[in-house]
Amino acid sequence: MAAKITVRNNGSLKIEGDFEIVDKEGKTYNLAGRDVIGLCRCGLSKNKPFCDGAHNGHFEHDAIAFDLPPKKTV
């Protein structure tokens, strides 16, 4: 299954499927066989970039899809 990213209301980005996560130097995080994880969006997690639930009661965002403007061309 290709990667699917779900933006959760008041919470993390849920990533599921076939994916890898790398740091700024390209080193891969060991996900220990997980094919579903949550990435922090609030900045409060002590386990960044992964969500630890610290956002509960401290982060509000209604996840409603919208269209981006057309891609700029040079």
Q: How many structural domains are present in the chain?
A: 1
pLDDT at 63: 94
pLDDT at 1: 80
Residue by residue, pLDDT tens for the chain (74 residues) are 899 999 999 999 999 999 999 999 999 999 999 999 999 999 999 999 999 999 998 999 999 999 999 999 98
What's the one-letter identity of residue 17?
G
Is residue 1 situated within a structural domain?
yes
Is residue 16 situated within a structural domain?
yes
The domain of 30 spans 1-60
pTM: 0.86
46 to 9, 15, 30, 35, 49: CA distances (angstroms): 20, 19, 17, 21, 9
Identify which of 43, 8, 5 has the alpha carbon closest to the alpha carbon of residue 21.
5
pLDDT at 74: 83
